Amino acid sequence: MSNQTYEMSVRVQPQDVDGLNHVNNIVYLRWVQDVAIAHWRAIAPPEDQAELIWVVHRHEIDYLSPAFPNDELILHTRVGDAVGLRFERLTEILRAGDCKVLAKARTLWVPADPKSGRPKRVSAAVRDLFSAGQPDV
């Protein structure tokens, strides 16, 4: 079971900023996806990476405070429960300077076959790595 937090850093780039001079909402979603993919690539065995892709089923995001140009951010993600083919992932985006949480996200991911794009059951090993222990039902 892998319930440890995976972390990566990003710096707000000029193209991330909208007309209100803060990070656009869609950029937060990109970062949620980027840190999830980085986590998958960091701990999943290569054979599993070759046999599975992950597709977003649902995003929920709470925007708590804005990020601004040149802010250094920390992206934290961890796995949650897995029920059937839905795998929960929880992400926080923090400003590095003061560790203030800027956004929180809950995403449900579905594993899929990379050739057909259809949902695919995962091995017990993948389920152990990417769930907090909820039984497969």
In the chain, domain spans: 6-129
For residue range 87-102, list pLDDT tens digits in order: 999 999 999 999 999 9
CATH superfamily of 6-129: Hotdog Thioesterase (3.10.129.10)
Tokens of 43: 């701990």
pTM of the model as a whole = 0.90
Residue 135 has pLDDT above 70, yes or no: no
Residue 1 has pLDDT above 50, yes or no: no
For residue range 100-116, list pLDDT tens digits in order: 999 999 999 999 999 99
Q: Which residues pair with 111 in a beta bridge?
A: 54
For residue range 66-87, list pLDDT tens digits in order: 999 999 999 999 999 999 999 9
Residue 2 has pLDDT above 70, yes or no: no
Model confidence band, residue 4 (pLDDT cutoffs 50, 70, 90)? confident
**pLDDT computed for residue 30 by the predictor:** 97
Return the SS3 of 1: coil
